[in-house]
Structures are given as structure tokens and as C-alpha cells.
Structure 1
Amino acid sequence: MEEIEHLLSGGHPNSLGNTVQVVEMILADPSKFDLLFNTYFSKDKVVRLRVSNAMKRICKANKSLLVPYIDRFLDEIALIDQASTQWTLAQLFLMLEKELNDSQKKKATGLLKRNIASQDDWIVLNMTMETLGQWAEGEEKLKSFVLPHLNRLKKDKRKSVASKANKVLARLG
């Protein structure tokens, strides 16, 4: 874990740093995935941001590496109070939707419902609206929960939040 944490630390906080190198290392040797996952518990918020970015990249390349960790994402990573973690979870849950069992999807939905109701970070809101919006297309109960939040967010002063809310509203009819 220290090797990966070291690779993901330093540099400008908004840069990827060595994230792509770490992703390539994990894809070449999947046995190191657990080391990357545990780096989520770093005290360095920049490292955690880069772990999130790495997780999205790995999920796109080989989502089977993340599947055994779904419960840990739901039970442990969901507790990390960092916007990048929350928006990444929204993206990962959408990418892993077919791999979620009923209990996991229910738990993921609960987390996303809390986030849309209580978070203020614009990326968390946008990613959460996207995931909940897609999931609500086939579920009337979820749709009835999401619609009031979308109607609230379409008036948000941030253009990207308002725009995303309007797009999801249009999709949901």
C-alpha cells in the first residue's frame, strides 16, 4: 500500500500525478488491486482523489476487479467524507449496475438519495443526478423521490447543476 500511496502523492492537487501509471500497474497485476483499494484510507485527501480516479479507470478497463469489493465500497468507502469519493461512487454504481445484487442496489440507492438531498458539491450533485435519473427511468417509486430534488436543483445558481437537473427531468418526462 505504501508504494501506491507514494506514487499517488505529491504534485499539484488538481493533477492526475501518477494515477495512470498506477492503473496500468494494477491492470498488469490485478493481485495489487487490494493495495490500491486500501489506499482509500490514506490521510492525504489528494491521494484519495487519485484513488477515486484510478477506480473509475480500472472499472472501465476491467470492472470484474471491482465486483468483489462492492460491499466494501458501500460499507466503508461510502463513509469517507470527501466529495471526490462520493461522486466517484455515483459513477461506479452506475457502471456496476448489472453486477449489483438487490441488496447492494438498495444500499447504493439509499446513499445516492442521501447525497442528492444533503450534498452541495456540484460534481457530487451532477453524478448523483445522472445515476439516480437513469435508475429512476424504470422505477416509479424512485422517480417520485428524485423529481422534487431535480425540480429544486434546476433552479441552482450553478449552471452545470441546473443544466444536469433539466436534462434528467427531460429524460424522465
Structure 2
Amino acid sequence: MKNLVYIFFTVCLFACQSEELTIISEENGSELSIVPPNSDEYLTYRVDDQMPITYFEHISCMLQPSQIVISHITDMGNGEIQEFRLEFGKAGDLPLDLGKYNVINGLRISDDHGNKIDYETTSNIEAEITTIGERVGDYVDVNFSGTFIDEVGAEHTIIGLVHAYRDN
């Protein structure tokens, strides 16, 4: 897990909305470059070499004593649901703080690129909390990167970034 390194090429990570942000996974060379959108909150990720997917609304960021759950769910109205859910934290009741965490089978995705990942998949993903707001309505910033095995046994890379309001 220590072979994942996030490199940030920006002076101000989220305060300057016009600066480009690049996250690179040293493990597999996967890279995600975005200009953070002029939006209050967003969740963006890319699987393999697909186009990045970015959500600007319906983002939930729930902090538990020892866990964080970031999710997005949209009912497409045709029986399809777009979903992203990332869960990670510490064992026991230790409080969360800034730093890197392993995501152990805490990833669920169903998106319009056809990615279908559920909690039964094997993953090797590392998430880094770079900001934890102290109060409800403050920002939580997380970047993540790694690999997962989908429901048909194929390995994929994922890399992403979350800038969301703390909901609790």
C-alpha cells in the first residue's frame, strides 16, 4: 500500500478553483488531471483509461467516529441507478484524522460507463484525507487511487478526488 504516492501540482489544493490539480498513482502510472469545477462540492473519478466521471450534486459525506462514508446516488428514472460509495477508516473506535487509509472492500460503483463494482470485489485502494472540516457544512477533501477486481474477475485501476460538505 505504501507504493501509492499522490503528487499534487498546485499551490492551493481547493481554495483556488482555477488551478489544475494532478493526482498520480506511482503504482501503475494512472493519472487524473482536473481543473476543479466552480462548484460547491464535487466527486470525480476515472476507471482505467475511461473519461472521468464527475458528480456535482447528491453527494453525501458522513463521518462516523472511526469511519468516513462518501456516496452519490442518482435515480436515472429508467430503472437504472448511478451510484458511487467509498467507505474507509480505522479499526476500533479511533478517531479519523488527516492521512492515508486502506479501503478494504469498501467500494461500490454503478455508472454510465458500465462499471459495476460491489462490496464483494477485491480492492487495493488507498484513500488520503487532506481536509476534515470541524463542523457540519465544512469541507472534507479526499483523494484515492488503486486497483480493484470487478464482478467478472478483470482488474481495473481507479483514481479520484472528493471535495464535499460534511453532512454530520
Q: Counting strand residues as a fraction of each chain, which structure ranks higher?
A: 2
Q: Which has the larger radius of gyration?
A: 1
User: What TM-score does the superposition give when structure 1 sets the normalisation length?
Assistant: 0.23
* RCO higher in structure (CA 8 A, sep ≥6): 2
Higher helix share: 1
TM-score by length of 2: 0.23
